[in-house]
Amino acid sequence: MRLGSLVTTSMTLFIFLATANSDETPQANNAGLTLFRQHVRTDLIHHCLDCHGGKSTKGNFDISTREALMESGFVGESVSVLSAQAGEPGQWAAY
């Protein structure tokens, strides 16, 4: 998988899960949340956050918080904010 595709996919999942309210998250999304916490979040921290979070934000692309990401102006350009169909985890639109 190309690095760009990995970043886009990771950010898509990150945004989707970051916006979900844990009290209202359907059981079907629990698997996605576990996947995010165990794999995607870890990859984002190890490969992306040093340059794109907190004090250092290359290219004005800050992924340290959802608010910072939304303010970056990259949503829709480099970051896709998508949601899965209810009860159908893993059904993502391909971009």
Beta bridge partners of 57: 52
pLDDT digits (tens, 9 = 90+) for 14-73: 666 666 555 555 665 777 778 878 888 888 888 888 888 877 788 888 888 878 877 877
- What residue spans define the domains of the chain? 3-71
Q: Which tokens belong to 27?
A: 């059981």
Question: What's the CA gap between 41 and 27, in Å, rounded?
Answer: 20
**How much is the pLDDT for 63?**
82
**How much is the pLDDT for 62?**
85
Question: What's the CA gap between 82 and 49, in Å, rounded?
Answer: 21
**Alpha carbon distances (Å) from 90 to 10, 73, 95:** 13, 26, 14
Beta strands (DSSP E) in the chain are: 52-53, 56-57
Q: For residue 81, give the amino acid letter.
A: V
